[in-house]
Chains A and B, each alone.
Chain A
Amino acid sequence: MSPLQTPSQTVGPFFKPALIRSGNESLVTSNSRGERITIEGRILDGDAAGISDAMIELWQANADGRYDHPDDLQEKLIDPEFHGFGRAATDELGRFRFHTIKPGSATGPGNLLHAPHINVSIFARGLLKRLVTRIYFPGEQLNATDPVLNTVAPGRRSTLIARIENADQPGILRFDIVLQGENETVFFDV
């Protein structure tokens, strides 16, 4: 008989000493290729209160749109200085911040170019299994034809697109994650 999946359980409130290491919120070295960006935001609950005991993980392609993984068969360059994984905990106000690069476009089924995006996992006390969302980029032409963005109801797509809050600082992107209620972030079933 085939073995059956191990069920998910909540990460609980006490994971930080085990899972959070300073430095994991930066995905880049000084030699990583690509345009440096900072992604910052808050995780909010159904009362719009910040969640201080959440963990966020990022998984993304490099500047050429290539994932550092053997199953990525695209003929694109690996970046030995960029592995694409980051992890951070929220602070007492529910804030998080990552330093990374803007990913390139990966090619999907039918040779369709996917819009650049970062894959996001969210874990917290009260989440019995992870939530998955994506961070897309503002003003990106490929957003209009991206197959995933187009599966999302038009009125909710904006929850997936990071914002530039200060035009003088285009490298700082804001991405709030609303777990519940008005402007609830779109989450994906993967």
Chain B
Amino acid sequence: MNSPNGYRRESSGGHPPYDNPAYASTHKRAPRNAPVRLEHTLSEITGPRFAGDLPAPGEDDLTHFDGGEALGERIIVTGRVLDEDGRAIPHTVIEIWQANAAGRYAHAEDRHEAPLDPYFAGIGRVITDTQGAYRFMTVKPGAYPWRNHHNAWRPNHIHFSLFGPSFATRLITQMYFPGDPLLDLDPIFNSVPDRSARERLIAKFDIEVTIPEYALGYRFDFVIRGREATPTPG
């Protein structure tokens, strides 16, 4: 039986290693053995889709929750999901989570002494359109301390989870904001070896996306792995 082609590998220097001395939580969690390379077969070329559980209207607006309006600087985040060949990835779900404007997550384990916002859950979902485009509204997340080292602060960031077309293209990442002075000090951001790759995690401010009198606009594209040009061996 012929299988469709596999997917390209993760780019060298473009992703963090498992073990990162500056990020303390990796010390006891990074495997000591190198991962075993797997040739792509149906297991990796296929992958899950959110067939029965698509984002509902309103999940793209994090600024309204429980009948009220979240505090903070309203922002629009928009962009596209593409593969390495520049092809749009349509109909893929993006899951979103973040801290509130004060730098606090609505999560029982977050003990940072910053106020919770009863009107901000910090959770959203969107699905890309036929052009691979997505858009959602939220408030700019605050920075927060995280005890990784003395005086450690996470830069402002939004978490994203997406699947793409296959098991091989699964991606969880974080988006950062331009000009944040904490970026140079953050072990998680700096875990990506190549500077140019790190910079791909920083959104771009865009006055065209900005809504007059209402919300600042940012652009952020996700690029997932493209397909191999030749069939998988065998």
CB within 8 A of B97: which of A18, A128, A151? A18
Query: In the assembled complex, how far is the CB of residue B169 from the closest CB belonging to chain A, in whole angstroms?
Result: 10
**Size category, A interface:** 35 or more
Question: Is the CB–CB distance between A15 and B159 below 8 Å?
Answer: yes
Say whether A12 faces chain B, with CB atoms less than 8 Å apart.
Answer: yes
Tell me if A121 is interfacial: C-beta within 8 Å of chain B: yes
A4 and B172 contact, Cβ closer than 8 Å, known pairs A128-B188, A190-B167:
no
Pick the contact of B123: A18, A107, A132 (CB < 8 A). Answer: A18
CB of A33 within 8 A of chain B? no
Chain A proximity mask over B38-67: 1 for CB below 8 Å, otherwise 0: 111111111111011000000000000000
The number of chain B residues touching the other chain, given as a range, is: 35 or more
Counting chain A CB atoms within 10 Å of each CB, the highest count among B1, B96, B159 belongs to B1
What is the bound-complex CA distance between A64 and B154, given in angstroms? 47
In the complex the two chains form, is B47's CB within 8 Å of A59's CB?
Answer: yes
Q: Which one of B70-78, B190-198, B204-212 is at the interface?
A: B190-198
Apart from the given pairs A5-B223, A18-B124, A19-B97, 7 other A-B contacts in the complex at a CB distance below 8 Å: A3-B83, A4-B84, A19-B161, A83-B49, A128-B18, A180-B30, A184-B32
Selected A-B contacts with CB under 8 Å, 17 pairs: A4-B84, A6-B173, A8-B171, A9-B159, A9-B173, A9-B201, A51-B29, A69-B49, A71-B46, A72-B42, A83-B52, A125-B29, A127-B18, A128-B191, A129-B10, A179-B29, A189-B37
Q: How far is the CB of A18 from chain B (nearest CB, A)?
A: 4
Q: Would you call A107 and B97 a contact (CB within 8 A)? A: no
Q: Which of A34-42, A111-119, A137-145, A165-173 contacts B (4 or more CB under 8 A)?
A: A111-119
Q: Are B2 and A124 in contact, CB atoms less than 8 angstroms apart?
A: no
Chain A positions within 8 Å of B35 at CB level: 131-132, 187-189
Find out whether the CB atom of A152 lies under 8 angstroms from the CB atom of B32. Answer: no
Q: Name the distance in Å between A21's Cβ and chain B's nearest Cβ.
A: 8
- With both chains docked as a complex, state the minimum distance between the C-beta of B89 and any C-beta of chain A, in angstroms: 11
- Cβ of B220 to closest chain A Cβ, rounded Å: 9
CB distance from B61 to the nearest CB of A (A): 15
Q: Does B36 contact A (CB under 8 A)?
A: yes
Q: Are A124 and B29 in contact (CB under 8 A)?
A: yes
CB-CB under 8 A from B36, the residues of chain A are: 151-152, 186-189
